[in-house]
């Protein structure tokens, strides 16, 4: 497709690892936000005749994922007095290595997928799978609720990438729907984070186990 | 330019330029801090002064202590003859010289670390332990980058891998090469104990890796170590420059200045990195090095998948 | 001709310990007789090998034997010669070393036994590598295995030694069992017990897989490939040092020899199995060295390094096998040449390291690295030998380890240059792993050398250490010279390796010229010389500089503290701590450290230990489970004769019903 596709995707992939390896929550937020912006730009490159509606939608995506949600999270970080450390369950080094293994597997797996010929050699599919995998890692191996939100964001980024492949078949409208869900999700999580921090004076999800009784 | 002149230019540059790089880095940092800074040629004065000085050897030490300085210097001095500086081949070039290159630096590391342990000082032991540990992660990153270059060039000589043919590969495999470039730059910072791995400026026990390892050296032996370290910086800087600017103009009289300019730019970049970044916490150093390995690993995977 | 000489040498070696058994316990006469005999035997053997290399003539001996299927069938070929050389060389040097290290007058209880089995071990291995009949092979294998067991248990009055010997015995017999099965399968497919290349490929793919698995497990156990290495560290640590040198340098190579011999007549293996071999090599290489770094016992550390080096050898072999699967001559030649040369090199530098470590242990009476230190001043020659061995084992120029790793590196780099469908580019990923292994080995030996020989002594014994006698130093000197010669003039080994490769992969073409074309070994040697020369010049320059200027002596700079003691030195555990931490997910180190520091701290202690994960977390639990399972059978162990008679009767009935 476009000559800039692969380099941009590589940067997006590298941002996955930054998100896994950085120890400050602000760093993770920035990485995820940058990735969101990058993917928005990517969408512009993938299709030459995108139309004014498309540009508006892409602009909205960039705006939401790159600025609104991160701003919102930073705000939550400040309001709920969250510590800046990520507090991983699996340490940074092993998270990165797990991420690398997942990315490698994504590369191998995507070469076996029955893709359309135009999509065969592209990094798009592996990058999408790898980003989804990173999102899962983030969801499962980080303690704080705010990191879960970031995990969801990464997950959404991965799905967005996959959606780029099917741009003709899947209108951007669907993407808008996903985005809306996400935004609501983040909103709800924001409220939950607020409540957790009020109830337990910390936002570690470990405390939620206390609710099982 | 025929081979003899070319080789002599190589030797002269390789042995005269390294301390200047240190000077450029120091000057850049001074400018960032708003100071005037030491003169550009200060490292030369330092070396000259050190070679004039007497030495104090600890009573604990044996011949290994002196061997550390000598082997560290000699191995870096031979390594510098193996890498191509401008478009044409290095003075010493044969199939597999890349392996000799990496292992020569390893030999230097082994003896400098042993020399540190020879003093029986806890500080130097700490420095030596860190030096050899971080090298364990930097080495694979370096070799993964070599794999990329070997795959692209089909050659197993540094002169072939980093030769002018590399310019054509930037067009068709630019992603991979960019990843390798980034990875090797991290390796450069790690192998030469620059920020964010180590702060070479403290010059005291507060330094974590290289400087603390050579704490007990003095006089000519310390001069050898400093010069050896500068050579090592030059070597890695040259690799990065060759990787980033592989194109040759055709006239050797222009290629050499381009190379020197590239090297100075690298020194300035190091200075900028040192001025704008903080030193990493020691426990986070391996994470960055593993990241460097992964960058190179993805570079090669992109090529062969 | 050469076969006859080798058989003669084997005979002399085997019987070298016999006269000593009849001589007085408290005199050195028996030891001298044994040593002279075994040196004669080994020298004869070495002479025969050189004669073989010079003439290239082989005249196999085949004598009938009363056992069905068996034949006393021995022959020389390139592969056998390569493996014979270290057997005789290390045996010779080990015996001379024993004159100082294990003096009969100091060890009247077990000295004679040790030397007797040292001879039979040598003989068994030498017979093993020239045997061309699988039953003769098994006989030699058992002679080797049992002699080795008696050598490991030389100091059988110590419980750790008995435990090590017991584990060794179990492991070696599992290996023997696999080999029985292997040769049975081979007999079924080939129709004979002869161990020579047959034109037919071994059976169907199922049979081929069975042969491969059996060979891998059987020979892998002997070689100490990673998941099968459990017996190796403790038995190497428990044996006397010249026995450890023999085991680590030579005995475990018999596993490699077996693998090479079996794969030589199996034809082209499937790519998957070749890749498995390469993978096993990678695993052994990395984990071996990682475990080594965590060790506190200098001999256990060296033992884990044997696992690492076996890993490197297996990587080379795996590359050669992959080359064979895909029909790539350059991969075969480079992989196998590197592998075989590393067999030699490892025999040389590991024997050197064990002998010099033994010399240090002999003088300082401790194997604990953190109890030693500062031996460089009291034992300069031993220290020099150890550091040369260390540089060699790290694969650093200008010594021999670099040459073999160089060949393997080049071979692995060659896998990048793929042509169409017959490529296996993943093998190239062994390159960074080999680099990782090299760097880790460097860290490990910086630690070992630094903590044992440098700094100041950490214990009373280490303070009063003295240099070992000449009989211990000379064998080390010979090994040092060998390391230097292979490192600086590696071309001398090339025709020898070429011949072995031609015997391993017949129909390959001219191995020598492929080797010469793809790896400029001569240049490597020259660069080694340049490096040595440069270092000498640099040393002289520093010396001259120091002569002109004032040179003072003072205490080590300890940041203003003027009375540093030896206990303030960085210990080997601290040195290794970061690497152990990095690999904590595989090593599972147990660390006991003080938890809280009260206002007035009491004396406290720190303890760290790296268990062997395979042994402690896999094998022992399985064995414990099996023991628990079998404890149910104790119900049947009544102890009275009536019950046993009842069992016999019941068994009889059952058999009757069966038919």
Band (pLDDT 50/70/90 cuts) for residue C202 is low
Q: Read off the pLDDT band of B240 (50, 70, 90).
A: very high
Do A101 and A26 contact (CB within 8 A), yes or no? no
Cα separation, C249 vs C331, in Å, equals: 26
> Which of B287, B302, B303, B304 to substitute to test the interface with A, most A CBs within 10 Å?
B287
Sorting pLDDT into bands at 50, 70 and 90, what band is B269?
A: very high
Res B22: pLDDT: 94
Answer yes or no: pTM beyond 0.95. Answer: no
Give A13's contacts in chain B (Cβ within 8 Å): 298
Q: How confident is the model at residue B80 (pLDDT cuts 50, 70, 90)?
A: very high
Do B74 and C406 lie within an 8 Å CB cutoff? no
Interface contact B287-A103, CB threshold 8 A? no
Give dist(CA C372, CA C367) in Å, integer.
8
* Residue A101, C-beta contacts closer than 8 angstroms, at least 6 positions apart: none
- Pick the last residue of a domain from C524, C544, C564: C544
Residues of A within 8 A of B179 (CB-CB) are: 10
Query: Which candidate, B221, B190, B220, B187, places its Cα nearest to that of B208?
Result: B190
Q: C441 in a domain, yes or no? A: yes
pLDDT band at C322 (very low <50, low <70, confident <90, very high): very high
- For all residues of chain C together, what is the average pLDDT? 90
**Domain residue limits, chain A:** 5-212
Looking at the fold, whether C490 and C632 belong to one and the same domain comes out as no
Answer for the pair C590, C573: CB distance below 8 angstroms, yes or no.
no
pLDDT in tens, B15-51: 999 999 999 999 999 999 999 989 999 999 999 999 9
Identify the domain containing residue C653 by its residue range. Answer: 614-658
pLDDT at B73 over 90: yes
Interface contact flag, A92 B287, Cβ < 8 Å:
yes
- Mean pLDDT for C234-254 is 94
Looking at residue A121, its pLDDT comes to 67
Q: Does B294 touch chain A (CB under 8 A)?
A: yes
* C16-43 b/e (C-beta count within 10 Å ≥ 16 → b): bbbbbeebeeeeeebbebbbebbbebbe
Rounded Cα–Cα distance for residues C529 and C484 (Å):
10
| Separation CA C63–CA C71 (nearest Å) | 6
Give C120-139 pLDDT, tens digit per residue: 999 999 999 999 988 999 99
C442 shares a domain with C425 = yes
Q: Is B83 left (phi over 0), alpha (psi -120 to 50) or beta?
A: beta
Domain membership flag for residue C289 = yes
**C515, containing H or E segment:** helix C511-518
Q: Which of C262, C285, C305 is the last residue of a domain?
A: C262
The DSSP letter of residue A184 is H
Reported as a pLDDT band with limits 50, 70 and 90, residue C442 is very high
Total structural domains within chain C: 3
Picking from A110-114, B194-198, C388-392, which range would have the lowest pLDDT averaged per residue? Answer: A110-114
Among C377, C435, C531, beta carbon nearest to B102: C435
Residue C221 reports pLDDT greater than 90: yes
Contacts of A17 in chain B (CB under 8 A): 291, 294
Strand B55-58 relative to strand C551-554: parallel, antiparallel, unpaired? Answer: parallel
Q: Residue C174's pLDDT is what?
A: 94
- Residues from chain B contacting residue C524 (CB–CB below 8 Å): 96, 100
pLDDT tens digits, C354-370: 999 999 999 999 999 98
pLDDT digits over C91-118, tens only? 999 999 999 999 988 888 888 999 999 9
**What's the rounded Cα separation, in Å, for the pair B79 and B105?**
7
Number of A:B CB contacts under 8 A? 35
- For residue C233, the model assigns a pLDDT of 93
Q: Is the pLDDT of residue B255 over 90?
A: no
Residue C198 is predicted with a pLDDT of: 56
Residue B66: closest CA among B109, B107, B112, B104: B112
Structure confidence at residue C630 as a pLDDT band (50, 70, 90) = confident
**CA max distance for chain A:** 57
Q: What is the pLDDT of residue C258?
A: 94
C-alpha distances (whole Å) from C163 to each of B101, C118, C361 are 45, 21, 21
A187 at B interface, C-beta within 8 A = no
ipTM field: 0.96
- CA terminus-to-terminus distance, chain B: 41
Is residue A25 very low, low, confident or very high in pLDDT (cuts 50, 70, 90)? confident
A62 secondary structure, DSSP code:
I
Q: Does any domain span residue C419? A: yes
Q: Report if residue C609 sits inside a domain.
A: no
State pLDDT tens for residues C377-388: 999 999 999 999
Asked if the structure places residue C510 within a domain, the reply is yes
Q: What is the pLDDT of residues C135-158, one digit of tens each?
A: 999 999 999 999 999 999 999 899
Categorize the per-residue pLDDT at A108 as very low, low, confident or very high, splitting at 50, 70 and 90: confident
* CB-CB neighbors (< 8 A) of B303 in chain A: none
Q: Comparing C-alpha atoms, which of C118, C105, C111 is closest to residue C149?
A: C118
What confidence tens digit (pLDDT) does each residue in C189-199 have? 877 788 765 54
Q: Given a cut of 80, is residue C1 above it in pLDDT?
A: no
Coil/strand/helix, residue C72: strand
Map residue C591 onto helix, strand or coil: strand
Is residue C291 domain-shared with residue C224, that is, in the same domain? no
List chain C residues with CB under 8 Å of B146: 431
Identify the bridge partners of residue C607 per DSSP, sorted by sequence position: C592
Q: Note whether C397 and C528 are within 8 A (CB).
A: yes
- Scan for tokens 């991983």, then name that residue: A88
Cα-Cα-Cα-Cα torsion A27, A29, A34, A37, nearest 10 degrees, comes to: -170
The percentage of residues in chain C with a pLDDT greater than 90, rounded to a whole number, is 59
pLDDT at residue B122 tops 90: no
**Nearest in space to C374 (alpha carbons), one of B150, B105, B119:** B119
Q: What pLDDT, on a 0 to 100 scale, did the predictor assign at position B167? A: 85
Candidates A27, A98, A100, A111: best to mutate against B (most CBs of B within 10 A) is A100
- Residue among B56, B130, B224 minimizing CB distance to C578: B130
* pLDDT value at C265 more than 90: no
Chain B 173-202, residues with CB within 8 Å of chain A CB atoms: 174-175, 178-179
Comparing CA positions, the residue from C167, C447, C89, C418 lying closest to residue C292 is C447
* CB of B98 closer than 8 Å to CB of C430: no
C364 lies in the same domain as C502: yes
How does DSSP assign C366-380, residue by residue? --BGGG---HHHH-H
Q: Do C439 and B78 touch (CB under 8 A)?
A: no
Tell me how close the Cα of A93 comes to any Cα of chain B, in angstroms. 5
Establish if C317 belongs to a structural domain.
yes
Q: Where are the alpha helices (DSSP H) in chain B?
A: 3-16, 18-33, 42-52, 63-79, 97-118, 122-153, 158-161, 166-172, 174-191, 210-213, 219-244, 252-276, 285-304
Cβ atoms of B166 and B242 within 8 Å: the answer is: yes
**Share above pLDDT 70 across residues of chain B, in percent, rounded to a whole number:** 98
pLDDT for A2 beyond 80 = no
Q: What percent of chain C is predicted at pLDDT more than 70?
A: 98
- In the numeric block, which tokens belong to residue A187? 């909103």
Query: Quick check: B295 contacting A, CB < 8 Å?
Result: yes
Which two tokens mark C197?
């290349």
Beta bridge partners of C558: C561
Interface contact flag, C396 B58, Cβ < 8 Å: no
Kindly state the average pLDDT of the residues C542-559.
Answer: 86
Residue C559 in domain: no
The CA distance from B71 to B61, in Å, is: 16
- The per-residue pLDDT for B185 is 95
Q: Do B55 and C405 touch (CB under 8 A)?
A: no
Mind listing the pLDDT tens digit for each residue in A119-159?
Answer: 666 788 888 889 989 988 888 888 777 788 888 888 888 88
Neighbours of chain A (3+ CB pairs under 8 A): B
* Distance between CA atoms of residues C7 and C12, nearest Å: 9
**The pLDDT of residue B135 is above 70:** yes
Tell me how close the Cα of A180 comes to any Cα of chain B, in angstroms. 34
pLDDT at A212: 62
* Phi, psi dihedrals of residue C641, rounded to the nearest 5°: -65, -30
CA–CA gap between residue B206 and residue B198 (Å, rounded): 10
Task: Tell which of C544, C570, C602 closes a domain.
Answer: C544
The pLDDT score that the predictor gives to residue A169 is 53
Q: How far is C-alpha A73 from the chain's CA centre?
A: 14
pLDDT in tens, C2-48: 889 999 999 999 999 899 888 888 888 889 999 999 999 999 999 99
Asked if the Cβ–Cβ distance from C409 to B96 is below 8 Å, we say yes
Q: Name the band, by pLDDT with cuts 50, 70 and 90, for residue B231.
A: very high
Lowest mean pLDDT among A63-77, A113-127, B56-70: A113-127
pLDDT at residue C116 in the model: 94
């Amino acid at each position: 497709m476009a000559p800039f596709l692969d380099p941009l995707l590589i940067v997006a992939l590298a941002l996955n690892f930054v998100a896994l390896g950085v120890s400050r929550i602000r760093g993770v937020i920035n990485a995820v936000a940058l990735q969101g912006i990058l993917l928005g730009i990517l969408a512009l490159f993938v299709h030459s005749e995108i139309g004014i509606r498309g540009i508006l939608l892409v602009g909205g995506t960039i705006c939401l994922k790159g600025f609104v949600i991160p701003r919102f999270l930073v705000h939550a970080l400040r309001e709920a007095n969250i510590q800046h450390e990520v507090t991983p369950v699996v340490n940074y080094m092993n998270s990165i290595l797990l991420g690398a293994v997942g990315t490698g597997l994504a590369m191998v797996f995507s070469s076996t997928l029955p893709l359309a010929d135009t999509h065969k050699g592209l990094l798009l599919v592996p990058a999408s799978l790898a980003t989804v995998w990173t999102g899962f890692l983030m969801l499962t191996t980080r303690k704080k609720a705010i990191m879960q939100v970031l995990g969801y964001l990464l997950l959404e980024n991965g799905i967005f990438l996959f959606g780029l492949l099917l741009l003709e078949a899947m209108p951007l409208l669907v993407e808008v729907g996903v985005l809306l869900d996400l935004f609501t999700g983040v909103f709800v999580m924001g409220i939950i984070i607020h409540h957790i921090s009020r109830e337990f004076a910390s936002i570690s999800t470990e405390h939620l186990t206390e609710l099982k009784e | 330019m025929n081979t003899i002149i070319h080789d002599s230019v190589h030797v002269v540059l390789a042995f005269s330029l390294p301390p200047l790089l240190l000077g450029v880095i120091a000057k850049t940092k001074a400018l960032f801090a708003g100071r005037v800074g030491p003169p550009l040629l200060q490292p030369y004065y330092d070396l000259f002064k050190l070679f004039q000085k007497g030495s104090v050897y600890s009573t604990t030490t044996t011949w290994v202590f002196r061997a550390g300085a000598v082997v560290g210097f000699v191995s870096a001095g031979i390594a510098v003859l193996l890498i191509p500086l401008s478009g044409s081949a290095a003075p010493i070039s044969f199939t597999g010289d890349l392996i000799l290159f990496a292992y020569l630096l390893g030999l230097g590391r082994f003896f400098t670390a042993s020399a540190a342990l020879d003093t029986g000082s806890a500080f130097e032991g700490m420095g030596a332990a860190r030096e050899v540990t971080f090298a364990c992660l930097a080495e694979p990153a370096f070799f993964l980058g070599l794999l990329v270059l070997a795959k692209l060039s089909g050659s197993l000589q540094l002169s072939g891998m980093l030769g002018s043919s590399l310019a054509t590969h930037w067009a068709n495999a630019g992603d991979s090469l960019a990843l390798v470039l980034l990875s090797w730059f991290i390796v450069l910072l790690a192998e030469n104990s620059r920020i964010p791995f180590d702060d070479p400026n403290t010059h005291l026990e507060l330094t974590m890796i290289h400087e603390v390892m050579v704490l007990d050296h003095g006089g000519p032996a310390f001069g050898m170590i400093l010069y050896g370290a500068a050579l090592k910086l030059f070597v890695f800087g040259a690799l990065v420059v060759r990787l980033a600017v592989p194109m040759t103009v055709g006239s050797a009289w222009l290629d050499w200045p381009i190379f020197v300019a590239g090297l100075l730019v690298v020194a300035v970049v190091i200075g900028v990195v040192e001025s704008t970044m903080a030193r990493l916490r020691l426990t986070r150093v391996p994470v960055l090095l593993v990241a460097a390995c992964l960058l190179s690993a993805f570079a090669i995977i992109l090529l062969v998948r | 001709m050469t076969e006859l000489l080798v058989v003669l040498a084997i005979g002399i070696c085997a019987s070298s310990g016999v006269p000593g058994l009849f001589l007085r316990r408290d005199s050195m006469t028996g030891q001298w007789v044994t040593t002279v005999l075994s040196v004669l035997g080994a020298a004869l053997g070495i002479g025969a090998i050189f004669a073989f290399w010079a003439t290239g003539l082989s005249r196999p001996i085949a004598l009938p034997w009363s056992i069905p299927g068996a034949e006393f069938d021995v022959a020389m070929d390139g592969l056998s010669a390569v493996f014979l050389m270290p057997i005789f060389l290390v045996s010779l040097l080990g015996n001379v070393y024993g004159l100082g290290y294990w003096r009969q007058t100091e060890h009247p209880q077990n000295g004679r036994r040790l030397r007797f089995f040292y001879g039979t071990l040598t003989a068994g291995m030498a017979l093993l590598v020239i045997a061309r009949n699988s039953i003769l092979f098994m006989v030699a294998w058992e002679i080797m295995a049992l002699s080795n067991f008696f050598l490991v248990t030389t100091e059988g009055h110590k419980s750790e030694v008995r435990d090590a010997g017991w584990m060794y015995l179990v492991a070696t017999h599992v290996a023997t069992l696999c080999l029985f099965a292997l040769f049975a399968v081979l007999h079924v497919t080939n129709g004979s017990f002869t161990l020579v290349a047959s034109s037919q490929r071994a059976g169907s793919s199922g049979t081929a897989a069975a042969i491969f698995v059996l060979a891998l497990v059987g020979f892998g156990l002997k070689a100490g490939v990673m998941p099968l290495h459990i017996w190796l560290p403790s038995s190497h640590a428990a044996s006397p040092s010249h026995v450890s040198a023999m085991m680590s340098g030579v005995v475990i190579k018999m596993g490699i020899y077996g693998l090479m011999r079996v794969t030589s007549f199996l034809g082209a293996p499937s790519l998957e199995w070749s890749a498995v071999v390469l993978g096993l090599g990678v695993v052994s290489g990395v984990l071996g060295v990682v475990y080594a770094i965590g060790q506190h016992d200098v001999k256990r550390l060296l033992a884990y390094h044997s696992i690492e080096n076996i890993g490197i050898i297996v990587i080379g072999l795996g590359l050669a096998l992959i080359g064979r699967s895909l029909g790539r001559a350059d991969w075969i030649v480079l992989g196998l040449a590197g592998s075989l040369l590393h067999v030699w090199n490892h025999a040389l530098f590991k024997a050197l390291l064990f002998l010099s470590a033994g010399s240090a242990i002999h003088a300082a009476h401790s194997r604990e690295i953190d109890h030693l230190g500062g031996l460089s001043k009291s034992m300069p020659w031993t220290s020099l030998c150890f550091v040369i061995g260390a540089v060699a084992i790290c694969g650093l120029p200008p010594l021999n380890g670099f040459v073999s790793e160089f060949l393997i590196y080049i071979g692995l780099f060659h896998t990048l240059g793929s042509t169409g469908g017959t490529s296996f580019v993943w093998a190239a990923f062994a390159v960074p792993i080999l680099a990782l292994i090299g760097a880790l080995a460097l860290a490990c030996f910086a630690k070992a050398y630094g903590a044992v020989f440098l700094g100041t002594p950490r214990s009373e014994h280490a303070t009063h250490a003295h240099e070992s006698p000449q009989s211990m130093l000379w064998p080390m000197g010979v090994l040092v010279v060998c390391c230097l010669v292979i490192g600086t003039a590696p071309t001398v080994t090339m025709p020898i390796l070429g011949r072995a490769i031609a015997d391993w992969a017949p129909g390959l073409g001219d191995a020598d010229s492929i080797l010469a074309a793809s790896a400029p070994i001569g240049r490597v040697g020259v660069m080694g010389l340049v490096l040595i020369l440069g270092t000498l010049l640099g040393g002289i320059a520093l010396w001259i500089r120091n002569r002109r200027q004032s040179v003072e002596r003072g205490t080590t700079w300890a940041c203003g503290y003027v009375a540093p003691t030896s206990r303030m030195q960085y210990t080997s555990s601290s040195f290794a701590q970061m690497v152990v931490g990095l690999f904590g997910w595989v090593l599972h180190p147990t660390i006991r450290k003080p938890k809280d520091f009260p206002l007035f701290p009491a004396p406290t202690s720190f303890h760290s230990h790296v268990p062997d994960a395979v042994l402690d977390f896999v094998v022992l639990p399985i064995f414990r489970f099996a023991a628990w399972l079998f404890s149910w059978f104790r119900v049947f162990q009544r102890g009275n004769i009536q019950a046993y008679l009842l069992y016999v009767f019941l068994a009889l009935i059952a058999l009757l019903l069966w038919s």
